[in-house]
Amino acid sequence: MGGGSKKKVTVGWRYGLTVHMGVCYGPVDQVEKILSDDRDAYNDPITGDQTVSIYKPDLFGGDKKEGGLSGYMQVQQGSNTQLPSSFLTRHLGTNIPAFRGILGFIYTGIMSANNPYLKPFSFIIRRILQGWQNSNIWYPEKAIIQHTTAKRTRHDMNPAHIIYQCLTDTDWGMGYPLGSIDDANFRAAADQLYSEGFGLSLLWNQQSTIESFLGIVFNHIAGSLNVDPRTGKYQIRLIRQEYDRNTLPIFDESNVNDLVSYQRAGWGELVNEINITFVDPDIFEESPITAQNLAAIQAQGGIVNQTISFTGITNSNLAQRVAMRELIARSTPLAKIQIKVNRSAWKEVPNGLFKFSWAKLGIEAMVMRIVGIGTGTLGSGVITIDAIEDVFGLPSNTYADQQDNEWQDPLQPPVPSPYRLLTEVTYFDLVTTLSPAELSYIDPDDGYPIMFASRPSVAAYDYDLLINENKVNQGAHCVVAITSALAKEEFSTFQIAIDDESQVTIGEYAVINAEYIRIDAYDSNTNTLTVARGTIDTVPQAHAINSRIFFGDGASATDPSASPIGAILSAKVITRTGMGELDKSLAPIDTVTIQARHNKPFPPAKFRINDVYLPLSVKGAITISWNERNRLIQDSNLLAQDEASLSPEENTTYVIKIYDQNNVLCRTLTGLTGTSYTYPLDDELADCGGIQTHIRVELFSVRDGVQSWQSHEHRFEREYEGYGFGLGAILALVLSGDIDKDGKIQV
DSSP tag of 683: H
Does the CA dihedral 407-411-417-423 come out positive or negative?
Answer: positive
* Mean pLDDT calculated for residue range 50-60: 83
**Residue 151, pLDDT score:** 65
Domain boundaries, the chain: 14-126, 134-238, 242-265+334-393, 266-333, 420-599, 605-719
**Residue 586, pLDDT score:** 94
Identify whether the C-beta of residue 27 lies closer than 8 Å to the C-beta of residue 131: yes
| Phi-psi category of residue 566: left, alpha or beta, with phi > 0 → left and psi -120 to 50 → alpha | left
More confident residue, 113 or 575: 575
What is the C-alpha separation between 684 and 687, in angstroms, rounded?
5
Identify whether the C-beta of residue 622 lies closer than 8 Å to the C-beta of residue 684: yes
Does the CA dihedral 431-434-435-441 come out positive or negative?
Answer: negative
* Mean pLDDT calculated for residue range 687-716: 96
pLDDT of 283 higher than 90: no
**Residue 653, pLDDT score:** 97
134-192 tens-digit pLDDT? 889 999 999 999 987 666 788 999 999 999 999 999 988 999 999 999 999 999 999 99
Is residue 617 within a helix (H) or strand (E), and if so which, with residue range?
Answer: strand 617-619
- The whole model's pTM is what? 0.52
618-659 tens-digit pLDDT? 999 999 999 999 999 988 899 999 999 999 999 999 999 999
Q: Over pLDDT 70: what percentage of the chain? A: 91
**Helix (H, G, I), strand (E, B), or coil: what is residue 245?**
helix
The answer, yes or no, to whether the previous bond of 27 is cis (omega within 30 of 0) is: yes
**Residue 6: band (very low, low, confident or very high) from pLDDT cuts 50, 70, 90:** very low
Where are the extended beta strands (E) located within 293-375? 305-309, 335-341, 353-358, 363-374
CB atoms within 10 A of CB 148: 19
What is the C-alpha separation between 604 and 628, in angstroms, rounded?
5
Query: Which top CATH class is 605-719?
Result: mainly beta
Identify whether the C-beta of residue 303 lies closer than 8 Å to the C-beta of residue 135: no
CB atoms within 10 A of CB 744: 11
**Helix (H, G, I), strand (E, B), or coil: what is residue 478?**
strand
More confident residue, 400 or 107: 107
Identify whether the C-beta of residue 137 lies closer than 8 Å to the C-beta of residue 199: no
**Residue 419, pLDDT score:** 96
Identify whether the C-beta of residue 326 lies closer than 8 Å to the C-beta of residue 249: no
What is the C-alpha separation between 552 and 63, in angstroms, rounded?
47
CA-based radius of gyration for the chain: 39
- The CATH number of the structural domain formed by 242-265+334-393 is 2.40.30
Identify whether the C-beta of residue 149 lies closer than 8 Å to the C-beta of residue 414: no
**Residue 394, pLDDT score:** 34
More confident residue, 636 or 564: 564
530-556 tens-digit pLDDT? 999 999 999 999 999 999 999 999 889
